[in-house]
Amino acid sequence: MSRFGPDPQAFFNAVYQAAAPWDIGAPQPAMAALLGKYPPADPVLDLGCGSGDLVIYLAQLGHRVLGIDFVETAVEDARAKIRALSPEAAGLLRFQAADALELSRLGEKFGAVVDSDFYHLFDPDQCDRLIDEIASILHPKGCYYMHEFDIAFPVPNVPRQVSADEIRARFTAERGWRIREIQSVEFLSRIADPAPAICACIERLAAPQANSSPIDQV
Ligand SMILES: C[S@@+](CC[C@H](N)C(=O)[O-])C[C@H]1O[C@@H](n2cnc3c(N)ncnc32)[C@H](O)[C@@H]1O
């Protein structure tokens, strides 16, 4: 069972009937900074794009971007924002209703995958599947960018804590990953003070390697 009940899609559908608490009208600043430090290769895929601000930000920087979310209302909200964009930016982005746990069904490969508060929605067994799916659609040398909660809340229906140790344990050279950087950052919301969060930039290797590679910085 998901952390969000037997029907997580219904849970998120209900959240989007009002302004979602994570919808700050802009990308998470720490994610934007990470993308500035490690510029993504195109095309970029945004997992659980919500109302689309990170996709729009990347398109305005000149990237080709696809944002996917399984909530139709979120995708419609995102598409409605396209009208305010320049023709150049509008021509670079797409939004699609899709399940981000079934990325191979998209039938496309990507130069980068961005994940702004998506991975932390899932318990560890589901994250195994998510990482396999990401690996299946990411070009070698492409990067996976994460921004997740690094705090545990003792209430139901909230994301889980993601630690630097978990990221190091999952994204190993033996499994075909190289961690470029892990940072302690903040999660901003519309409804509460900033919360502790973690950001990472993780490169997909051309092939699994026997030895673990060092992390650039923690
Ligand atoms: C915490 S919100 C983050 C939204 C956006 N990335 C942001 O930073 O504002 C998580 C998003 O993931 C979406 N989501 C959850 N599970 C999903 C799934 N299996 N496939 C696609 N989208 C999903 C939710 O609908 C929601 O929009």
DSSP output for the chain = -BTTBS-HHHHHHHHTTS--TT--SS--HHHHHHHHHSPPPSSEEEET-TTSHHHHHHHHTT--EEEEES-HHHHHHHHHGGGGS-HHHHTTEEEEE--TT-GGGG---EEEEEEES-GGGS-HHHHHHHHHHHHHHEEEEEEEEEEEE-S--SSSSSPPP--HHHHHHHS-GGGTEEEEEEEEEEE--SSSS-EEEEEEEEEEPSS--SSPPPPS--
Instruction: Answer whether residue 151 shows pLDDT above 60.
Output: yes
State if residue 11 touches ligand 1 by the CB under 6 angstroms criterion: no
Residue of the nearest CA to atom 23 in ligand 1?
48
What integer pLDDT is reported at residue 28 of this predicted model? Answer: 98
Integer-rounded Cα Rg, in Å, for the chain is 16
What integer pLDDT is reported at residue 215 of this predicted model? Answer: 56
What integer pLDDT is reported at residue 210 of this predicted model? Answer: 80
Report the distance separating Cα 93 and Cα 89, nearest Å.
7
Do 35 and 42 touch, CB atoms closer than 8 A? Answer: no
Question: Looking at residues 113-118, what average pLDDT do you find?
Answer: 98
Distance 174 CA to ligand 1 centre (A): 29
State if residue 134 touches ligand 1 by the CB under 6 angstroms criterion: no
State if residue 67 touches ligand 1 by the CB under 6 angstroms criterion: no
Hey, which of 16, 68, 69, 199 would you mutate to test ligand 1's pocket, going by the most ligand atoms within 8 Å of its Cβ? 69
Report the chain's mean pLDDT, rounded to a whole number. 95
Residue of the nearest CA to atom 27 in ligand 1?
50
Do 117 and 189 touch, CB atoms closer than 8 A? Answer: no
Instruction: Answer whether residue 135 shows pLDDT above 50.
Output: yes
Nearest Cα to Cα of residue 117 among 40, 23, 211:
23
What confidence category does residue 218 fall into, taking pLDDT thresholds of 50, 70 and 90?
A: very low
- Given strand 110-116, what is the order of strands in its sheet? 93-97, 65-69, 44-47, 110-116, 138-149, 195-204, 177-187
State if residue 99 touches ligand 1 by the CB under 6 angstroms criterion: yes
pTM, rounded to two decimals = 0.95
Distance 212 CA to ligand 1 centre (A): 31
Hey, which of 118, 119, 185 would you mutate to test ligand 1's pocket, going by the most ligand atoms within 8 Å of its Cβ? 118
Residue of the nearest CA to atom 1 in ligand 1?
117
